[in-house]
Amino acid sequence: MAPRISSHLINRNCTFINQMYPPIAFIIHRTAGHVNCQQLYDYWQSTCISSHFGISYDGYGYDPHDIWQFVNLWDGSGANCCPESGHHWFFDRGGNANTYTITVEVCTPNTNNQGLMTDAQVEALVYLITHCLNELGIPLDHGANVYWNDYEDSHTWINEHGGVGMHRDVSPHNKRMCPGDPYYQGQIDHIISLVQGGGVVTPPWEFNKYMEQQFNNVWDSSPFGRHSGIYTGCLQAFTNGKLKVAVCPTTDEIHTVDWGGNPIIYQYLSNGFHAEYVNGRTLVYGQDGAKIVT
Ligand SMILES: [Zn+2]
């Protein structure tokens, strides 16, 4: 079969529900032992940790082209907690790295992640990365960059807008061999070039359907409906370039009155932003308190 994604969602209470905040990095792992997606699914269900996706190894009863999805793209999975010293500077952002990474586990029976991915796994991974970049607006129109990871110069395809990287970029001490040989023998470089050669062009900062989904998730449970203008204001600010950083709602709207008794609506957003809607205008405030009038 051609590569495809089939849904095998684990218990959603084991994920970071509605927490996926751009800029986002797609992170490649290898399993060092688990050989197929059924094993991964069972393991995630029993431990309540997870990856978003899995790709089986050839010859263990499951087709590598049948990519299993365990976690929604708008929920965080549990594979990339706690960046270690020597991490790539993208993870200086801190907090729970699971809320800004999408993760795949590529199965290998080798418990040291030695040996390369199979041809079918590479085809599946190229398909999967392309799919996720398009869905989430993750850019990969940039080359690799090099950083010191406490052991060696390491290279990755994550920049300040997000991109594609590996577990070793998050945890270079304990997970420097994830994904292992595919990194050291150039297979990851080859996979990136295949994705880029496939014509994936996802402009950074696009206020895409994914972020609309994040607002939808809040609206669906909101008593206030969807008419405050905060979403519309954020969308406009992205379109006209005033807002450079992607924002998603982290709370429902809060409806109250200001000191003068005038109605005011505000909402907390990802990346330390918040927005106010006053007198028909949306004001977005950055982490540093700077105000953006949309
Ligand atoms: Zn890993």
**What residues does each domain of the chain span?**
4-197, 209-293
Rounded to the nearest angstrom, the distance between the alpha carbon of 248 and the centre of ligand 1 is 27
Q: Checking phi first, is residue 193 left (phi over 0); if not, alpha (psi -120 to 50) or beta?
A: alpha
Rounded to the nearest angstrom, the distance between the alpha carbon of 86 and the centre of ligand 1 is 16
State the pLDDT at residue 80. Answer: 87
Rounded to the nearest angstrom, the distance between the alpha carbon of 30 and the centre of ligand 1 is 6
Phi first, then psi: give them for residue 215, nearest 5 degrees.
-65, -40
State the pLDDT at residue 94. Answer: 81
Rounded to the nearest angstrom, the distance between the alpha carbon of 211 and the centre of ligand 1 is 27
Rounded to the nearest angstrom, the distance between the alpha carbon of 27 and the centre of ligand 1 is 9
Phi first, then psi: give them for residue 54, nearest 5 degrees.
-140, 150
Rounded to the nearest angstrom, the distance between the alpha carbon of 164 and the centre of ligand 1 is 14
Rounded to the nearest angstrom, the distance between the alpha carbon of 210 and the centre of ligand 1 is 25
Q: Name the fold adopted by 4-197.
A: Lysozyme-like (3.40.80)
Rounded to the nearest angstrom, the distance between the alpha carbon of 177 and the centre of ligand 1 is 8
State the pLDDT at residue 205. Answer: 45
Q: Report how far apart, in Å, the C-alpha atoms of 100 and of each of 35, 75, 83, 261, 287 are.
A: 27, 10, 12, 38, 17
User: Considering the entire predicted model, what is its pTM?
Assistant: 0.82
> What sign does the dihedral 243-244-248-249 (CA atoms) show?
negative
Rounded to the nearest angstrom, the distance between the alpha carbon of 176 and the centre of ligand 1 is 9
Rounded to the nearest angstrom, the distance between the alpha carbon of 219 and the centre of ligand 1 is 34
Tokens matching residue 68 = 């299993």
Rounded to the nearest angstrom, the distance between the alpha carbon of 169 and the centre of ligand 1 is 10
Tallying the residues shown for the chain, one arrives at 294
Q: How far apart are CA 39 and CA 273, in angstroms?
A: 40
Rounded to the nearest angstrom, the distance between the alpha carbon of 104 and the centre of ligand 1 is 9
Element (H, E) at 253: none
Rounded to the nearest angstrom, the distance between the alpha carbon of 31 and the centre of ligand 1 is 7
Rounded to the nearest angstrom, the distance between the alpha carbon of 214 and the centre of ligand 1 is 27
State the pLDDT at residue 253. Answer: 86
Rounded to the nearest angstrom, the distance between the alpha carbon of 201 and the centre of ligand 1 is 27
Per-residue pLDDT of the chain (294 residues; tens, 9 = 90+): 899 999 999 999 999 988 888 889 999 999 999 999 999 999 999 999 999 999 999 999 999 999 999 999 989 999 887 899 999 999 998 889 999 999 999 999 999 999 999 999 999 999 999 999 888 888 898 899 999 999 999 999 999 889 999 999 999 999 999 999 999 999 999 999 999 988 655 544 456 666 777 788 787 777 777 666 888 888 788 777 777 666 788 888 888 888 888 888 888 888 778 999 888 888 888 777 777 766
Rounded to the nearest angstrom, the distance between the alpha carbon of 173 and the centre of ligand 1 is 12
Q: How far apart are CA 52 and CA 95, in angstroms?
A: 19
State the pLDDT at residue 209. Answer: 64
Rounded to the nearest angstrom, the distance between the alpha carbon of 175 and the centre of ligand 1 is 6
